[in-house]
Each structure stands twice: as C-alpha cells, then as structure tokens.
Amino acid sequence: MTPAMHPTVSPRDPLAPPLLDAQGRRMTYLRLSVTDRCNFRCTYCSPASWGGKKDLLTPQEFERIVSVFARMGIQRVRLTGGEPLIRPDILEISRALSSLPGVERVAITTNASHLERLAVPLREAGVSQLNISLDTLQAETFRRISKQGDFAATLRGIDAAAAAGFASLKLNVVVMRGVNEHEAAALVAYAHARGIIPRFIELMPFGQGEPVPSAELVAQLQASGLPLEEEPVEARTQVSTSGPARYWRAPGGQVGFISPLTQNFCGGCNRVRVASNGDLRSCLGGRAQAPLHQLIRGGASDPELALAIRQALGEKPEGHRFTETGNAATLLPMMGIGG
C-alpha cells in the first residue's frame, strides 16, 4: 500500500493532524509510561517474573516525543507506570509536558502512596487530573492483592489529593471475584464522600484472578439499595467521562464501569501508548511496537518520528482480542505496557 492510500500517513506533512489509525479512528490521547517499576507489585499487574526495562527515557526525551504527538493532534497526556510518582523527576516531567503547545491536559494514574507529599506540587506543576488505584478498603485484602503496598499511605494520599484542588479525581477499582466484589457499595460511598468518581474495571487477562462482568456488578449495587441510573451520552462532560468508561448516576455522583471483556471499548478508541523505554504500542492487547527511542537517539527528525508513528498506527487492530483463545499467553504484563 502506498503512503497516499494509507489512512495514517500524510504524503504532504506527516506532522500535520489529524492522527488516524488503520480504522480511521482519530487519536487524541497519549498514555505515556514514565517507569515500569512499582512499589506495590499488585498480583493482576506486575508478576514476580517481571524484571523491568533497562533503558528508560529521560525527561528531555519524553518532552520530545510528546511535542511531536501534540503537533499531530494529541491533546491529552496521561502519565502511567508502574508507579509514576516513584520517579524523582516526576515534577520536572509534569511541568515540561503541561507547558507544551497543543497539550490541553496532563493526568496521572497512581497508587496514591506518594500523594501525601506530592498532591499539591503536582497540581502546581500542571497536572489537572488524577486516577487513583484502590481495590479495597480492607487492610487484609489490600495485603493479599499487594504484599509490598502501604495501605495507610494510600489512604492518606487519597485524602491529600481530595484536598488539593484537582479538576478531576477518579478512583479505579479492579474487580476480582472472591476478592473484592462485595466491597463495591462501600467503595462508592468512600469515593463520593471525597468528591471522587469511582470506576469499576473488569479484570483483564494480564495477571492472576477471575473477572466480574460489569452488568453483574451493577445488579449487585442496585440490589444493595444503591439507586443507579445509566447516564445518557449527551449528559456526559468531557472532564469526567472522556474515555472507555460507561457512567451511571447515583445520589452521591457518577459511578463508572470499564468493561473491556463484556462491552468491548475499542470502537471508540482514541489512545496511543508509549512504554517507559520509548516503544510505541498501538494497542493494549498486542505486541506490535515502534522503537521511538532508537529513532531519537539515532538523530531522527520530527517528520521522521511522525512517519514512524503513523506507520505503527497503520497496524493498529480493530479490537484488542483479549477474549480470543490462547491470546493471554502472548500479552505482556500490564506494568510493561503502561496500562
């Protein structure tokens, strides 16, 4: 296929927006992993066998990559991990990326263990949104999921984030059968009491555990006495709902459900992923990649980086294929991809 025929390659200027994938979907959201190391090592995300990448990008290399993506039409950047807040230069990275022309919003996904110290500095560095991972309100269950995690520090960090004045806070709960599904109502109440939107995520096939379908969890919450009414698409705001979640309205606020297995979210995909070593991954559920770090360190120009990005997105599949037989064996651990 020639560049003129390919939907992701511009024959005029590869830096010119829009940035499209092979299906013609417009990419506006970059998930950028700044580290694949974590201080928690949760069972569903980071298997004991994961040794980590050896050559992480520098703040300057992150800035170069994001500046190219922003010129191509990326508007939102989410910093992920591993745990992004364990990088000592996370404030430097946040300030640099939030200042780039074209970047409208910088967000971070975190386990909250460092937020007691960093919540206010992150907001002052230009971070406007936090997604906080918390799967349980029980210390014993927390230790079962993450033997290395600090439960008390997590709870203190969440309270610090709630007080820091971020434009948006979400609580991400990975639901595992027989582990934490019975805590859903309590987690909704906990989040809403702090002005946070809780979101329940079907366990994806990257690690241990059995998923709970979102429809089952909605029914469970309703049976517990929580009134839930599905939110019409036209009522959703960009800040709170621009992503794969489907939202329901409860008395205390929104409740989100992310259902990669039972309600495939790929049709509206607008996301590109770059791992902590600079590998571009066009899809969460695959191994295809483009080594942007090698291009940068080899002296590639911005148009050459843009062309490599477009060519990689030309291989982006229509869907993640998580449910295909045998596919789980080909997936990298979640912390190796950046979520």
pTM here is 0.88
272 annotated ligand-binding residue: yes
CB 320 within 8 A of CB 284: yes
> pLDDT tens across 60-72, in order?
999 999 999 999 9
Which one-letter amino acid corresponds to residue 292?
Answer: L
78 annotated ligand-binding residue: yes
45 annotated ligand-binding residue: yes
DSSP state of 234: G
Tell whether 10 is covered by a domain.
no
CA angle 180, 181, 186 (to 5 degrees): 85
Tell whether 14 is covered by a domain.
no
44 annotated ligand-binding residue: yes
- Token pair for residue 335? 């912390």
94 annotated ligand-binding residue: no
> pLDDT tens across 246-290, in order?
999 999 999 999 998 887 656 578 989 999 999 998 777 656 678
72 annotated ligand-binding residue: no
**Three-class secondary structure of residue 103 per DSSP:** coil
> pLDDT tens across 18-51, in order?
999 988 999 999 999 999 889 997 888 766 655 5
When divided into structural domains, the chain yields a total of 1
Q: Domain of 128? A: 29-337
Tell whether 22 is covered by a domain.
no
Tell whether 103 is covered by a domain.
yes
Tell whether 191 is covered by a domain.
yes
Tell whether 1 is covered by a domain.
no
The domain that contains 173 carries what CATH number? 3.20.20.70
316 annotated ligand-binding residue: no
Tell whether 164 is covered by a domain.
yes
CB 202 within 8 A of CB 323: no
Q: What is the CA radius of gyration of the chain?
A: 19
Tell whether 294 is covered by a domain.
yes
319 annotated ligand-binding residue: no
> pLDDT tens across 132-163, in order?
999 999 999 999 999 889 999 999 999 999 99
194 annotated ligand-binding residue: no
31 annotated ligand-binding residue: yes
